[in-house]
Amino acid sequence: MLNLINETVSFINKKTNFKPQYGIILGTGLGGLVSEIKIEHELNYKDIPNFPVSTVEGHSGKLIFGTLGGKKVVAMQGRFHFYEGYEMWQVTYPVRVMKYLGIKSLFISNASGGVNPDFEIGEIMIINDHINLMPNPLIGKNIDEFGARFPDMSQAYDKKLIKKAIKIAENNNIKISQGVYTGVTGPTLETPSEYKYFRIIGSDAVGMSTVPEVIIANQMKIPCFAISIITDLGVPGKIVKVTHEDVQKVAAKQETKMTFIIKNLLKEL
């Protein structure tokens, strides 16, 4: 895999001659943050050697290079999911590429279902921990250049970044919560009993992404900040039929607040 990454990074460097400081992964319906980026380069995933291609509606499939909050960033406008049929190494491949491009921290967003009874639709939740119910992306032969065989996950989400983000939200009257995100394979949305199970094991929200990328980032010593928009509720008495289109609409409505937090968080780094 190291040869593949070197090939990808070499291609990107030749095309952009851009050295990003921070990486951003944008989830379902959350690609609009790109409009805040002063874009210098755009690369379609299909044109990048060894890169997967987004197949899900709401994921554009572009790698964006530019400035946000006064910092140089590389942003994924659209991510990859295990349920699309990709292997876990492909799902997380961009994180390894970003590391070799030089990023210092990784910012991740997603849309998720809330199982915390105190949550409302549209709730913005900073992820402070996760539960992984997906195949672990580190299964297989370890490549020493990437990091430890058994990486520590006791602080998978950077406490300093979380603290700064909470302060930004409070100073700007943005309602925000913290919670545990549980990663599942999908692509089915959850049954009422599954929602109940997730709550019992300690979840506040559940989704089909983020966790694999965070595991890889931690192995490669990249501090992570992740934020989730609660687009539907898996709470008894509040469960209704939900479509992917519904998820996109709710995410888009709250996107400006999420964008504000990430943009100002970058300013402070």
- Segment 82-121, tens digit of pLDDT: 999 999 999 999 999 999 999 999 999 998 999 999 999 8
Q: What is the mean pLDDT of the chain?
A: 92
pTM: 0.93
pLDDT of residue 98: 98
Over residues 184-198, mean pLDDT: 94
Query: Is 80 exceeded by the pLDDT of residue 199?
Result: yes
- Position 255 confidence tier, pLDDT thresholds 50, 70, 90: confident
Question: What token pair was written down for 31?
Answer: 């690609």
pLDDT of residue 32: 75
pLDDT of residue 187: 94
- Position 201 confidence tier, pLDDT thresholds 50, 70, 90: very high
Task: Using CB atoms within 10 Å of the CB of residue 118, give its burial: 0 to 12 exposed, 13 to 18 middle, 19+ buried.
Answer: exposed
Any idea which of 154-158, 159-163, 172-176, 233-237 has the lowest mean pLDDT? Answer: 233-237
- Position 249 confidence tier, pLDDT thresholds 50, 70, 90: confident
Instruction: Please tell me the class of the 2-267 domain.
Output: alpha beta
- Position 240 confidence tier, pLDDT thresholds 50, 70, 90: low
**Closest CA relative to residue 222, chosen from 164, 163, 140, 151:** 151
pLDDT of residue 183: 98
Any idea which of 49-63, 88-102, 190-204 has the lowest mean pLDDT? Answer: 49-63
- Segment 1-44, tens digit of pLDDT: 899 999 999 999 999 999 999 999 988 666 778 889 999 999 99
Question: What token pair was written down for 13?
Answer: 């460097």
Percent of the chain with pLDDT over 70: 93
What are the extents of the domains in the chain? 2-267
Spatial contact of 224 and 105, defined as CB atoms under 8 Å apart? yes
**Closest CA relative to residue 203, chosen from 131, 155, 136:** 131
Cα(210)–Cα(226) distance, rounded to whole angstroms?
Answer: 8
DSSP per residue, 156-171: -S-HHHHHHHHHHHHH
Query: Is 80 exceeded by the pLDDT of residue 251?
Result: no
Residue 219 CA to its chain's centroid (Å): 16
What Cα–Cα distance (Å) separates residue 96 from each residue in 143, 215, 229, 252? Answer: 12, 11, 25, 28
pLDDT of residue 28: 65
Any idea which of 59-68, 180-189, 190-199, 210-219 has the lowest mean pLDDT? Answer: 59-68
141-145: long-range pairs with CB below 8 Å, 24+: 143/1, 143/2, 145/2
Strand 71-77, strand 205-207: pairing: unpaired
For 20, phi and psi rounded to 5 degrees? -70, 145
Over residues 115-129, mean pLDDT: 94
- Position 195 confidence tier, pLDDT thresholds 50, 70, 90: very high
Query: Is 70 exceeded by the pLDDT of residue 60?
Result: no
